[in-house]
Structure 1
């Protein structure tokens, strides 16, 4: 079996969630003993943080870091390891996945592009990726992590995102200048068959996304494939609703 595009490091553990504290700390039980893990997810993680739910923690790669664990996955369902599925909550995953999928030739909408650049500045925004290819317009990409779904629809955002709305405006200006611009939504849960903006959470972002699409910004919501071994990506993207 081939490795996932983003394999987890060795030493991961399955723990039990106790509670989230503020934005960046998650209290857990590892083999029944209390510990604290770091989470980089500043969203609400709506519907995911159930006390007692299994969580997958990866060991910190920097031995000097204060917290030795990072929250990667949260189990959704009634029973582990069956009767549910993993949802990915690490918000660094979409950026890493974009580059890994590009280099593996897994992004049909990026065919013909040969070079990938991380975190390129365009105007007042720093965008997650920029692609170049011979005879092709530059392609600017902004990445977002999706962890919320309702009635088979993956939804973004799960909290008000003024920064995300600003990025949509930057992408619109790129299209107006004659280049390509796209949103890459990495849907880190398997129970969705389409994607849409979360009007009930952030109506301004929802309106902004629809306006951006009308002005030529491309939208590519891809389903991630999650396991305790790592994270992979389906090449075909979900329809936008």
Structure 2
């Protein structure tokens, strides 16, 4: 995935979860930008942090820029919450992302499929008649090369895990797919200190056959692409960033 017209900038502040104030390095102009992620991001949105802005002016927009990536230490973190679904669909189609236990080869992928009281990101049918749901979650929280989800409590995510577990009992194959929007990660887990109930729901889901997968990404200010599978371990302890 390639973003158009990307400019480097410095993060100033975040008045609310939808916008931020940044200073464009090339011009020194202070601009108000749309933040493409409503998560807290406290460990990356630091004063003077280097960020990447995509220039997308339009009469229908309130801001001319999207904040798409933040540099933490020596690596870039993509924070675009809309990109993981597209990366997942593309990765499944080109074979970069594999779904263990899927019966047959993928014949079709449909987006935003309703089931029960939820709408799952991907619905897959194979050439052998297997039907599967894949719920995709972007992961941007990291500390000491351990990735974790979520960075804020998510009732929607909890509902999805419970409904996926129910779908398994109805005969569907079900997956939670975390797209870690950064590269340097050794293992992924659930941030149980942030949301213990989610960790408990994932455990119950795994015991019923729910498969939880993580893939990392190579990220630059202008691009993001899926790299490879990363181990997911629900028992891995995660230390909150200071």
**Structure-2 separation of matches of 1:237 and 1:153:** 10
**Structure-1 separation of matches of 2:169 and 2:111:** 22
1:173 counterpart residue number: 166
Q: How does 1:67-216 map to 2 (within 5 A)?
A: 67-77=63-73, 84-109=74-99, 112-216=105-209
Q: Secondary structure at the match of 1:108?
A: coil
Is contact 2:57-2:65 (8 Å) kept?
no
Q: Secondary structure at the match of 1:87?
A: strand
Q: Secondary structure at the match of 1:8?
A: coil
Structure 1 position 97, deviation (Å)? 0.7
**Structure-1 separation of matches of 2:106 and 2:206:** 22
Q: Secondary structure at the match of 2:106?
A: coil
**Structure-1 separation of matches of 2:49 and 2:191:** 25
Structure 1 position 61, deviation (Å)? 6.9
Structure 1 position 32, deviation (Å)? 1.6
**Structure-2 separation of matches of 1:196 and 1:108:** 19
Is contact 2:51-2:70 (8 Å) kept?
yes
Choose 134-143 or 56-65, whichever is displaced more. 56-65
2:2 counterpart residue number: 7
Is contact 2:212-2:232 (8 Å) kept?
no
Q: Which runs of 4+ in 1 moved over 3 A?
A: none
Structure 1 position 158, deviation (Å)? 0.2
**Structure-1 separation of matches of 2:58 and 2:203:** 41
**Structure-1 separation of matches of 2:29 and 2:164:** 47
Q: Does 1:223 align with 2:216?
A: yes
Choose 45-54 or 106-115, whichever is displaced more. 106-115
Choose 30-39 or 106-115, whichever is displaced more. 106-115
Count of residues paired in the alignment: 229
2:29 counterpart residue number: 33
**Structure-1 separation of matches of 2:173 and 2:58:** 37
1:16 counterpart residue number: 10
Which ranges in structure 2 are unaligned for 5 or more consecutive residues? 235-242
**Structure-2 separation of matches of 1:39 and 1:162:** 21
Structure 1 position 64, deviation (Å)? 2.9
Q: Deviations over 1:67-91 (max 9, x none)?
A: 11111100011xxxxxx11011110
